[in-house]
Amino acid sequence: MNSQNSADKTNKAIYDRACNVLTGGVSRNTIFRKPHPYYVASAKGSYITDIEGVERIDFANNMASLIHGHSHPAIVDAVTDQLQKGTAFTMGTEAEVAFAELLIERSGRFEKIRFVNSGTEAVMTMIKTSRVYTNKPKIAKAEGSYHGTYDYAEMSQTANPGNWGDIDKPNTIPVVEGTPQGAIDDVIIFPYNDIERTLNILDQHANEIACVLIDPVPHRVGLFPATNEFVEAIYNWTRKNNSLLAFDEVVTYRVNYAGAQASYTVNPDLTALGKIIGGGFPIGALAGKSEIMEVLDPRGKILRHPHSGTFSANPISTTAGRVAMELFDEKAVLSLNTLAMKARYQIEESIKIADVPVSITGAGSMFRMHFQANAPTSYREAFQTKKTKDLINEFIDYLFLKENIIMINTCACMFATTLTQKEVDRLSEAMLKGFKLFKPKLEQLSY
């Protein structure tokens, strides 16, 4: 047995133990950092204290999933109450129904919902539902966009200059070695926000595309919104070609009260949800038009898309999610977006004062820094060389270790309602110090 006395309670000691039982010492690569990850002792609101007693301000919020920060009392109380009644059953619960009712009323665009256990699973179910409904095999997605880890959804999220091909016909690049060629062949890649090129590419596969998958503010592409003209063009193309417009709002549902899709003049046919709708617990959901969602209906004469999941719609996640979304009302959404915009403005001022080649993109309560003078407008413009990635990692480590600031490893912030002007001021001050310190290296990137 491993001794767990106080002498072992260091981040390094825990990581040494982890390496004996976990591949690479971690179960998700997002927490890995050299020389070792750091381990949480407790968290409250927007502050996390690690195992060695160091307190940090959290601007990552578990990869955008915690809209109310850590250990929100209303969520804790609701979940604690449900825990006494049970956590998962081979029966339905009213918690599932109540949460579905809330989300449908909130969005005004959803007609039916199915709950799953993650954003990846939501996107996977959305793609499979699209195939069943249209009887077509292929999907189209934007170069660089992240949609989870389903084989088809993850194509070309890491495409680089050495393999991405001509912008008029981008290559479909798998992420994982050994991905079947059949999966590669069934994904069509288009350049985000480029209407003419995208329509030309889609036209070449018009009879085969089940859905066009869009993240309305794609983090990996560069965290800038899709234009209304682009979304309208894709929508009109799908109407013409018996295809579906599928939105991935796993991250972006926080942008407006009814999701980022509320910013557009057309509605998606299907929407994948996750992250903030779980209130800090694992969840995903597929929402959309009744006619399309009917392929999942077990009452049909022919069950076209058998769908289940041991923990889907469990009452812990649906209870926590319902309370979280009730708290994230229209006033809270507006207030949080305003605070994030204030933070963005202050960081832009820090960039000017430090006179460094850095730009910011974002929407709603999230934004991302780019180590380049002009904000990117495409994945290829936002693409980071190894030299840039290394500098970003060094900068993130500086903020984490010296300024006690936690950010997403792309140099992005995903705000929670527990943040205040106090934390925003700390963030902009830390960024200014970092920009000044890293100025020589930042300037070298532009040469």
The number of C-alpha atoms within 13 Å of 374 and in the hemisphere containing its C-beta is: 4
Helix, strand and coil content of the chain, in percent to the nearest 5, comes to 45, 15, 40
What mean pLDDT do residues 209-232 have?
Answer: 98
For residue 4, pLDDT over 70 is answered with: no
Number of neighbours of residue 39 by Cβ within 10 angstroms:
17
Rounded (5°) CA angle 101-106-107: 105
Q: At a CB cut-off of 8 Å and minimum separation 6, what does 64 contact?
A: 251, 254, 275, 276, 366, 408, 414
Catalytic residue among 15, 38, 133, 146: 146
CA 127 to chain centre: 17
Name the percent of the chain lying above pLDDT 70.
Answer: 98
Which amino acid is present at 268? Answer: P
* Interacting residues of 97 by C-beta distance below 8 A, sequence separation 6+: none
Q: Which CATH number does the domain 73-327 belong to among 3.40.640.10, 3.30.230.10, 3.40.50.720, 3.20.20.70?
A: 3.40.640.10
Residue 248 known to be catalytic: yes
What is the per-residue pLDDT across 229-278, written as a single tens digit (0 to 9) for each? Answer: 999 999 999 999 999 999 999 999 999 999 999 999 999 999 999 999 99
Tokens coding 287: 């929402």
pLDDT greater than 70 at residue 3? no
| Token pair recorded at residue 188 | 């069509």
- Give helix 421-445 / helix 386-402 axis angle, nearest 10°: 150
9-20 exposure pattern, b = at least 16 Cβ within 10 A, e = fewer: eebebbbeebee
Gap between the Cα atoms of 372 and 385, Å rounded? 12
Domain at 38-67+329-445, CATH from 3.30.390.50, 3.90.1150.10, 3.40.50.620, 3.40.309.10: 3.90.1150.10
Cα distance between residue 81 and residue 90, in whole Å: 20
Please say if the pLDDT value at position 5 is more than 80: no
pLDDT at 301: 82
Angle at CA 273, nearest 5°, toward 282 and 251? 90
146 is catalytic: yes
- The active-site residue out of 152, 235, 275, 379 is 275
Listed in order, strand segments (DSSP E) in 111-236 are 112-116, 138-142, 187-190, 209-214
H or E element, residue 400: helix 386-402
What pLDDT does 303 receive? 87
Catalytic site includes residue 275: yes
Task: Choose, from 151, 215, 248, 269, the residue flagged as catalytic.
Answer: 248
- Return contacts of 149-153, CB within 8 angstroms, 24+ apart: 149/120, 150/120, 150/123, 150/124, 151/176, 151/179, 151/180, 151/183, 152/127, 152/183, 152/186, 152/187, 153/120, 153/123, 153/124, 153/127, 153/213
For residue 302, pLDDT beyond 90: no
Q: Could you report the per-residue pLDDT of 341-371, keeping only the tens digit for each?
A: 999 999 999 999 999 999 999 999 999 999 9
Q: What is the mean pLDDT of residues 157-185?
A: 97
Would you state the pLDDT for residue 7? 57
- Residue 447 confidence class, pLDDT cut points 50, 70, 90: low
Closest CA relative to residue 246, chosen from 158, 133, 380 = 133
* Segment 102-151, tens digit of pLDDT: 999 999 999 999 999 999 999 999 999 999 999 999 999 999 999 999 99
Which pair of structure tokens corresponds to residue 254? Answer: 């926080």
pLDDT at 104: 98
Query: Where exactly are the structural domains of the chain?
Result: 38-67+329-445, 73-327
pLDDT of 1 above 80: no
pLDDT over 50 (residue 331): yes
* Mean pLDDT rounded to a whole number for the chain: 96
19: Cβ–Cβ under 8 A, 6 or more apart, which residues? 25
